[in-house]
Amino acid sequence: MADPLSYRIRVNGQSHDVCDAWIGESLLFVLRERLGLSGAKNACEQGECGSCSVFVDGQLVCSCLVLAATVPGAEVVTIEGLTAGGGTALTDVQQAFLDEGAVQCGFCTPGLVMTVHDLLERDTLPSELAVREALAGNLCRCTGYGRILAAVARAASGRAGTNRDSAR
Amino acid sequence: MSVAAPASIPGVLDAWTDRPDATLVAGGTDIMVDVNFARRRPSSVIALHNVGELRERSVGDVGVTIGAGVTYTELQDRELATAVPALAQAARTVGSPQIRNAGTIGGNIGTASPAGDTLPVLVALDAVVDVQGVGGTREVPIDELFTGPKRTALAAHEVITAVRVPPCRGPQEFLKVGTRNAMIIATVSVALVLDRDARTVRVGLGAVGPVALRAVEAERFAEATIDWDDPVRSADATLLTGFADRVADAARPIDDHRSTAGYRRHAVQILARRALQRACSHG
């Protein structure tokens, strides 16, 4: 057994000390079990389900496949750090999920919201094929995805409307 | 501290000398599955993400050089996708966006899975892998690198630094069969590379052998049968079936938890035919 490790990581703009950790702990484990950030969900632990999706240095990744001890120096953003205007208000994507009834049991929702934010940052008006490809790594066993696709379309058109308004 | 994150290749090799048992971690997408399922318990780790040299890539007259730390997402960037389209196509089929943002081409090579998506492409491209160890650097032709399932000819404490692809002008295809289009490990894959200038055909096969295979008889047949001045017209049943049958003969599939040898031989024949048909249709 390797000696316990202590290190500091940055999550949602704040520094956190991780003390006496095992070297093999995933970022997902550290977020949930050590930092109490339970928004990222633990299901498959092999990068198949996307429910643990977070941003590391702006890149959408599965936190279950990130070795936490390699994260010092990076900026991690979780669903808890994803807010509109830095407050507690819902983001447009979260609101669109509510408006379209895209949430059933809710387990996959944090990961999907992270993925949709990533998609809409890169592609403001994605085609349905582009949406399906972007969401291919996020499994939902409740909805059948129809309402999730509708939520993405609503969020995208909302942003397009906002952009039109501000250009006017 | 048993985690090192050096910023250079010499730094990696020094760290490895200090920690001979250390596990190298690039994207982590293969290793962390093993760690999460208690199949691997690293005693120390050398993280590669700070090594800038591993992220470099260049496209030029002498070919394409891709640093081992280039991710699957980056392989789809316009410049690389234009220079080596089959590699970008293969990268696009790896896992999900989350996996493609983390996983690297060097990791795909180092893991050496028989189903590694970029490997049949690299085999078809006659790629060369740059390797560095404490004894110096060496280059390993890709078909000499893989010695078996998840086994390579890398010596202890050698690190893959880059993969180089010679210049090649012509159509390229990558096709893959699995139970889904996304998020799936290949049941069978085929990479096809036509070089119009050299008038060569190269085909790499994935998940139908212990390592990514070439189908040399099929290549020779296609090279001799294609009308290189009019590939569209020459893509008839004689060419396509003759090529595909020879590809199927070159496959060495097995039954496993993912598929059967019989299905794989069938599917590789279909994919080979389709790949050549598409490549010829580019004219």
Using an 8 Å CB-CB cutoff, list chain B residues near A115.
97-98
In chain B, which residue's Cα lies nearest the Cα of A111? B98
Report if residue B241 sits inside a domain: yes
Q: Is A121 on the interface with B (CB under 8 A)?
A: no
Report if residue B149 sits inside a domain: no
Helices (H) and strands (E) in chain A, counts: 5, 5
Q: What is the pLDDT of residues B185-236, one digit of tens each?
A: 999 999 999 999 999 999 999 999 999 999 999 999 999 999 999 999 999 9
- Of A14-23, A125-134, A158-167, the range with the lowest mean pLDDT is A158-167
**Residues A137 and A52: beta-carbon distance below 8 Å:** no
Q: What is the pLDDT of residues A72-115, one digit of tens each?
A: 999 999 999 998 776 778 999 999 999 999 999 999 999 999 99
Residues 153-182, chain B, touching A (beta carbon < 8 A): 181-182
Q: Give the span between the Cα atoms of B117 and A130, in whole angstroms.
A: 21
pLDDT at A1: 54
Domain A84-167, CATH class in plain words: mainly alpha
Using an 8 Å CB-CB cutoff, list chain A residues near B35.
24, 26, 67
CATH architecture label of A5-81: Roll (3.10)
Interface confidence (ipTM) of the complex:
0.95
pLDDT at B181: 87
Q: How many domains does chain B have?
A: 1
pLDDT at B242: 98
Question: Is A23 close to B37, i.e. CB distance below 8 A?
Answer: no
* Average pLDDT over all residues of chain A: 94
- A41 SS3 class: coil
- Of A13-22, A44-53, B86-95, B178-187, the range with the lowest mean pLDDT is B178-187
Domain residue spans in chain A? 5-81, 84-167
DSSP B62: T
Q: What is the CA radius of gyration of chain A?
A: 17
pLDDT at B240: 97
In chain B, which residue's Cα lies nearest the Cα of A51? B98
In chain B, which residue's Cα lies nearest the Cα of A47? B99
What CATH number does the domain containing B224 carry?
A: 3.30.390.50
Say which amino acid occupies B30: D
Show the tokens assigned to B241. 């079936």
Report if residue B147 sits inside a domain: no
* Under-50 pLDDT residues of chain B: none
Question: Is A73 close to B5, i.e. CB distance below 8 A?
Answer: yes
Q: Is A51 on the interface with B (CB under 8 A)?
A: no
What range does the domain containing B182 cover?
172-281
pLDDT at A167: 58
Task: Pick the residue of B96, B180, B181, B184 with the most A CBs within 10 A to test the interface with A by mutation.
Answer: B96
Fold equal for A5-81 and A84-167: no
pLDDT at B1: 53
pLDDT at A165: 67
